[in-house]
A and B are shown apart, each in its own frame.
Chain A
């Protein structure tokens, strides 16, 4: 009885799936799906080398500081970094006094309540504060940015596939829309107010090219020349750190754990062999 019922259920599901397959295949052959503009013109992130690549890579603190500088002078005008606190910057090699100064001089104020009147006001951030948001709320952010809300950058490099390379590619990827694209997809012209960038998922993004000229940010003595490429790379490294600040701790702990486990497993193997010796003699 069970087997007859099972046979009928199996016949139904398998049969109807094959019917669906045949109908789908017929449609696929008679009307192959039209290629989309994203399929043809979207590019995977460029290859780029970072000091933190590979299983034992570490952050380059000088690069993170440069990247922070780019964030401070360019990105932070529109983008928040809400999961990072000023005190976290000590990991970049700044000392306590420097962090205090960075917080105090930050252009955006931390919202607070006036202790006397109880009214909303702003004050200078302290190291314990997270980076204040550049806009009071999403409505203000959209209103100031042509209706697009600049996303928070704290986790950006983990929120995209190959995030570090993606940020670098996006920042250096702005270009004219290819003539070939317009010939093939005349409807796909970049709308007014958007900017063509093949590394962006739907090819057109609201953000205007943020890094446009060499020397836009002034790097300190002994640092590489602030070309657009270098600045993009540095800020991508900085945003990798903001997304994964514990990366170095994780790798160090991982190495120690695996060495311990290799030894422990070796011993466990020997004890296993020892205990089983009388049961499994090779002939």
Chain B
């Protein structure tokens, strides 16, 4: 891992030397997130979000494990055990609100992380595997979040579970047996709740394992950077510790402040009031909506209103929703431009902003009731979403004329900040 000029782990204390001989775990950590990992010196604050996502996962696991100590995964008591946690468990309200809002913050951080990767071309060779593993994490997160939302057994939990498992019912011939098999019954009930709890407890640890693979894959080529120009020598990098541990420490502080504002002063802002009503299979809520982080995909699902010959609209919606995520796995081969960073790709950059706005519009429509004009808006926005990745991006990378790239990372940094002691004089601007 790392570049040849990476600092070597050389423990001085005999105990640490003894450990290093038997099990070089400290060496592994040193090389992964310590001084032994050289990182481009020009990362901006958008590169903080990977560490923040890891921290968000830790918050979820800690608060989640504690909540599981007080939760009863049974449809008769699930709702009241959650309320009991809120009222009678010491700091139970804090654990529950931190877990619910922590999920939202996990997604906020991960969405910023993904859009950073999209803008700066982080998915391109040689980092395709990092991108693919990141998408696996994203899919696991979505599954975990969905099952977690079912556990309080409120109205949205129940009806959300019904709608989402109902998607499998749209698959021809085998759909309904699959749906029944997934739920352990014909409708969500105790069997479904219990298996969702089991999987909700398991998957975060699977996520943690894939996170390790994600970081491992990242450390082989090393981190990407805002110029997209690869590291050329020791002058282009700084050791992760103390440079990026210090920067991440500050980023983490800002993250925790934002998290605390919501957690302590508006803990139900991102939730839906209907989930404070106990699940009732006999009463359908007026509007069934998932949590906000699923809204863009929910809008794509509902945008298909017309059958395509023998394919029913519902099945098309399901296929499109899955396709909207799966297509991201092909991104490294759809965007063939050799230039990574959006900074040097004028056309690509404009379309990136359109995509960002498009996903925001889809998100808004996904949270709105399934009425006009929201359905029409989401149809146009969903059409753009598919066109962006599958048609526009390959065409841009073929025809766009990129701006000249800086010769190296150091050159770009010197153009911005001027030379520092012992470095060559500034070279022309980027």
Q: Which residues of A pack against B, CB within 8 Å?
A: 2-3, 6-7, 9-11, 13-21, 23-25, 28, 33, 55, 82-83, 88, 151-152, 154-155, 158-161, 163, 201, 243, 245-246, 249-251, 253-255, 257-258, 261-262, 264-265, 268-269, 271-272, 274-276, 278-283
B405–chain A nearest beta-carbon distance, Å: 21
What chain A residues lie within 8 Å of B313 (beta carbons)?
20
Number of cross-chain contacts by CB at 8 Å: 179
| Cβ contact of B276, chosen from A159, A245, A264, A275, cutoff 8 A | A159
Is residue B421 within 8 Å, beta carbon to beta carbon, of the partner chain?
Answer: yes
| Cβ contact of A250, chosen from B84, B93, B336, cutoff 8 A | B93
Interface string of B16-49 (1 = CB under 8 A from A): 0000000000000000000000000100000000
A229–chain B nearest beta-carbon distance, Å: 24
The residue of chain B having its C-beta at the shortest distance from the C-beta of A250 within the complex is: B264
B97–chain A nearest beta-carbon distance, Å: 8
Are A7 and B390 within 8 A (Cβ)?
yes
A6 to B80 alpha-carbon distance, docked (Å): 49
A187 to B278 alpha-carbon distance, docked (Å): 32
Are A21 and B93 within 8 A (Cβ)?
no
Is residue B268 within 8 Å, beta carbon to beta carbon, of the partner chain?
Answer: yes
| Cβ contact of B391, chosen from A7, A243, A274, cutoff 8 A | A7
A9 to B238 alpha-carbon distance, docked (Å): 44
A83 to B88 alpha-carbon distance, docked (Å): 10
Are B257 and A18 within 8 A (Cβ)?
no
B415–chain A nearest beta-carbon distance, Å: 9
What chain A residues lie within 8 Å of B334 (beta carbons)?
2-3, 6
A278 to B417 alpha-carbon distance, docked (Å): 11
Are A265 and B390 within 8 A (Cβ)?
no
Contacts A250-B93, A258-B260 given; indicate if A19 touches B391 (C-beta within 8 A): no
Is residue B94 within 8 Å, beta carbon to beta carbon, of the partner chain?
Answer: yes
**Residues of B within 8 Å of A, CB-based: how many?**
70
The residue of chain B having its C-beta at the shortest distance from the C-beta of A1 within the complex is: B333
Contacts A2-B334, A55-B265, A254-B260 given; indicate if A283 touches B426 (C-beta within 8 A): yes
Closest 6 A/B residue pairs (Cβ): A254-B264, A10-B390, A283-B418, A265-B253, A21-B379, A17-B383
A281 to B384 alpha-carbon distance, docked (Å): 44
What chain A residues lie within 8 Å of B10 (beta carbons)?
none
A282 to B140 alpha-carbon distance, docked (Å): 43
A13 to B378 alpha-carbon distance, docked (Å): 13
What chain A residues lie within 8 Å of B243 (beta carbons)?
275-276, 279
A4–chain B nearest beta-carbon distance, Å: 9
A155 to B316 alpha-carbon distance, docked (Å): 39
